[in-house]
Structure 1
Amino acid sequence: MTIEKTPLEGCFVIEPNVFQDERGYFMESFNTKKFTQAIGQEVAFVQDNQSFSSRGVLRGLHFQRGKYAQAKLVRVLSGKVLDAVVDLRKDSKTFGEHLTMELSAENKKQLYIPRGLAHGFVVLSETAEFFYKCDNYYHKAAEGGILYNDPSIGIDWQLKKEELTISAKDLELPEFQKLGLYHPELENRHGNH
């Protein structure tokens, strides 16, 4: 497996070695020892989650607060999504920046998202099954989020607004600046639309 750093501090892309023949394929999707050596820290995953969604379904941008924050290892089992993360860590060199990447059953890439980042995805294929490991248990009272189309972040979701299906709850999420983490210099970095 190949593990590479991304432009966001502490975020890594994992690509498995895939062995294919006339029967299909085999791959090692996770190995604690290799993963720990590559990212330079131990992560104990305690919960697995899986969702199924249709084209245009956008879930996010979500995070857990405080001691309930979650690191995640995400991948797509079927279909294709555009995955997005936003750095919410005030002490990070990449605070306020975002990263997007396509994850698909075809490319088999995984994204490791450390604690302190908001996460979301939109389905680009007809349907998609999305799978992720978490290093902390979900705690409803600690959940938070950022509005998916916050102009100070500027994520290009690759689909038109009218193609999106977003829950009422996600449409009511606040903009980044209302989280109390916002820095005015971010306007210079992203532009104020």
Structure 2
Amino acid sequence: MKITKSVFLKGAINKEQWIDDEISEVLLLGRSNVGKSTFINYLCNNKQLARVSSSPGKTQMLNFFAINDNGFRFVDCPGYGFAKISKSIKKQFVKMMDTYLLERRNLKLAILLLDLRRTPNADDLLMFNFLRERNINILIVTTKLDKLKKNDISNQERIIKETLLIINHIDIIKTSSISKIGYDAVLEKITEYI
């Protein structure tokens, strides 16, 4: 699959604002500052699609993007784990995500983005286990591959697998927005689910 067209549709903070149809959705999740907007823009070959912010935690709603004339949609989730947002916004985030993850029939795949340089933290583990316990299809994508020395890559991948207690059927794809490594593999995997 190749993404030839990508368009922002709308932002939503509650179920009433979701798009009501049967189009498959791929949810993108990750810690604040993991490079989610950059990942979306490179995957879609559209540098203007998702806003890249200099201050993490700016996205505070679910953003819906039509891909290939509504062949499927990306749903960009607010980054989690950023300490500077208020408790009320954190509560709103948890409620919004619980509702989406538990009730959204359109959801076919959740892509959990992790910074390859970092050991998954408690928030990453919580999100991963939440997805796994609810039998949501998961693809783990690591970002910032280009920031690591070659010798450190396999060690970091091992640490991620050990931290998340990853079982064999969950894929990990390493990506770099600089060299565009891994993007074709991500698109191939998405095709299996939509």
Fold-level similarity (TM above 0.5): no
After TM superposition, the score normalised by the length of structure 1 is 0.33
**More strand by percentage:** 1
After TM superposition, the score normalised by the length of structure 2 is 0.33
